[in-house]
Amino acid sequence: MKTLKSLSALAPSPPSAKSGWGGFIGLGLICLGIGIGITSKLSVLTCNRVETDKMTCSIIEEDLLELDVERMTLEKLQRAEVRIRIDPAGETERLVLVGEKQELEIQAFEGDAKEASIEINDFVEDLNEESVTLRKDDRWFSYFFGVVLAIAGLFQTGLLKVSSSRNFNRS
C-alpha cells in the first residue's frame, strides 16, 4: 500500500480549467465581445420634402469607430414598403423605399420595418410635413453584451480573478 501512495504523489496533477481549452474559449469570448461592441451601429434615415411632389431620402449608418459612414440617397420618394426576404437564417422584414426610378432596401430597420414604413408613408401623404427622421440605435445593447462577453472571457482565461482571501483575526 505504501508504494501506491508514493507513486500517486509523484504523478502530475491534472491541468486546471484555466489552461488549454479554457484559455482558447476565454480568448474567443474576448474577441466576440470586442467584435460585437465595435460592429454596433447608429442608423439615421432622413427624408426631406424638396417640393410638394419631390422628396429625397438619405441614410447614414455609423459604427463605434466611425469608419462605416454610409450615405445612400433616393430621389422622388413615392412610398415605403415592407418586403420579406427568405434566406437560410430565416425570414427577415426589410424596409424598401420606392422612388420614381429606383428602390432602396434598408437593412438597418429590419426589426422595425413595419413601424418605419408607416411613418414614411404618413410623411409622403401629409403635404404639410417638411421632413421625417427615423433613428435606430443598437449601440447600448451591443456595448453591454460585448462587455459582458469580454469580462467572461477574462475570467475564463484567468487574466481576471476573484479574490477570495479571507483573513480572520481571532485575537
Digit-coded pLDDT (tens) for 28-78: 888 888 777 777 778 888 888 888 778 888 888 877 776 555 566 777 888
- Per-residue pLDDT tens digits for 74-119: 778 889 999 888 878 778 888 898 888 888 888 778 778 899 999 9
Task: Judge residue 50's burial from the number of C-beta atoms within 10 Å of its C-beta, 0-12 exposed, 13-18 middle, 19 or more buried.
Answer: exposed
Cβ-in-10-Å burial (0-12, 13-18, 19+) of 42 comes to middle
* Stated pTM of the model: 0.63
All 3 cell numbers of residue 39? 460592429
β-bridge partners, 106 = 95
Partnered with residue 112 across adjacent β-strands are: none
- pLDDT tens-digit map of 146-159: 888 888 888 777 77
Query: Burial level of 73, CB count in 10 A (0-12/13-18/19+)?
Result: exposed
User: Where are the chain's structural domains?
Assistant: 19-40+138-159, 41-137
The strands making up 54-63's β-sheet, listed across from edge to edge, are 70-75, 54-63, 41-51, 131-137
